[in-house]
């Protein structure tokens, strides 16, 4: 796969999975545009200073005007990868409207607005493109979402968005897909679940490899897929 000189947006690019995706894209010659929320987040980003990296302040991905302005400044957008999101583990009695709306804004609305802006940019350039969302295992297996109903509902909505949008924009040469990870092997997850069998969790580099394929021109036919990336878990 070659991403040489292709402009690609990666939301959530400063996180564990995002850093793996950005690093692989930079290695393949991509021009990466990574929005971030705080200066501290940008300062500790491993790829900061790379000549092909554009770090941009974008405090809220649920702010339609800010998202549109960000995408409007990117020439010839090829791909938009939506890793940014949030997680909440809480039983229904502790999941009030505020928590539910937070999950919807973090996981669904942010990807919706970024997808909308990306489609506009890709149609303007006329060269097609790729959109990759990050769903989750409970989006495909909702029964595993017990005690995290708000998260599960928001990720299921994201899966629905992926299916519908893939059908809508296929005629423009824009292929829309998603990956659905299980628990990934990250320092934060190891800390929160110290007794788990880490060997069964997919590594962020492995999940990143699937994302890169879906975002590449090598992917010529796959659209509307929610690809499980569970590892051995």
Query: pLDDT tens digit string along 6-47?
Result: 999 999 999 999 999 999 999 999 999 999 998 999 999 999
Please report, for the chain, the start and end positions of each structural domain, with discontinuous segments joined by +: 7-226
Class of domain 7-226: alpha beta
Does residue 54 sit in helix, strand or coil? strand
Q: Which H or E run contains 39?
A: helix 39-43
151 among known catalytic residues: yes
CA distance 110 to 3: 25
Task: At 99, list the tokens.
Answer: 């928590």
Q: Residue 48's pLDDT is what? A: 95
Q: Residue 1's pLDDT is what? A: 76
The half-sphere exposure of 38 on its side-chain side, counting CA atoms within 13 A, is: 4
Q: What residues are paired with 178 via a beta bridge?
A: 133, 226
Residue 59 has pLDDT above 90, yes or no: no
| Exposure b/e, 68-86, CB count within 10 A at least 16 = b | bebbeebeebbbbbbbbbb
Length of the chain: 233
DSSP for residue 96: -
CA distance 133 to 176: 8
CA distance 230 to 233: 6
pLDDT in tens, 86-127: 999 999 999 999 999 999 999 999 999 999 999 999 999 999
- Compute the average pLDDT of residues 206-227: 98
């Amino acid at each position: 796969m070659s991403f040489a000189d292709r402009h690609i947006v990666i939301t959530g690019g400063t996180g564990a999975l995002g850093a793996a995706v950005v690093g692989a894209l930079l290695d393949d010659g991509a021009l990466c545009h990574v929005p971030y929320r705080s200066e501290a987040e940008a300062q500790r980003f491993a790829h900061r200073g790379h000549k092909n990296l554009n770090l941009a302040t974008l405090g809220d991905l649920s702010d339609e005007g800010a998202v549109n302005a960000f995408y409007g400044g990117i020439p010839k957008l090829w791909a938009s990868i939506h890793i940014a999101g949030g997680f909440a583990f809480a039983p229904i009695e502790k999941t009030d409207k505020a928590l539910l709306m937070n999950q919807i804004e973090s996981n669904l609305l942010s990807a919706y607005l970024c997808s909308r802006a990306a489609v506009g940019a890709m149609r303007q350039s006329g060269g097609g493109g790729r959109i990759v969302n990050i769903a989750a295992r409970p989006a495909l297996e909702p029964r595993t979402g017990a005690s995290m109903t708000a998260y599960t509902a928001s990720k299921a909505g994201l899966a629905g968005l992926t299916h519908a949008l893939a059908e809508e924009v296929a005629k423009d040469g824009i292929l829309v897909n998603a990956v659905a990870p299980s628990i990934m092997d990250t320092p934060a997850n190891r800390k929160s679940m110290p007794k788990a069998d880490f060997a069964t969790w997919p590594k962020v580099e492995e999940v990143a490899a699937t994302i890169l394929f879906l975002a590449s021109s090598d992917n010529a036919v796959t659209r509307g897929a929610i690809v499980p990336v569970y590892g051995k878990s």
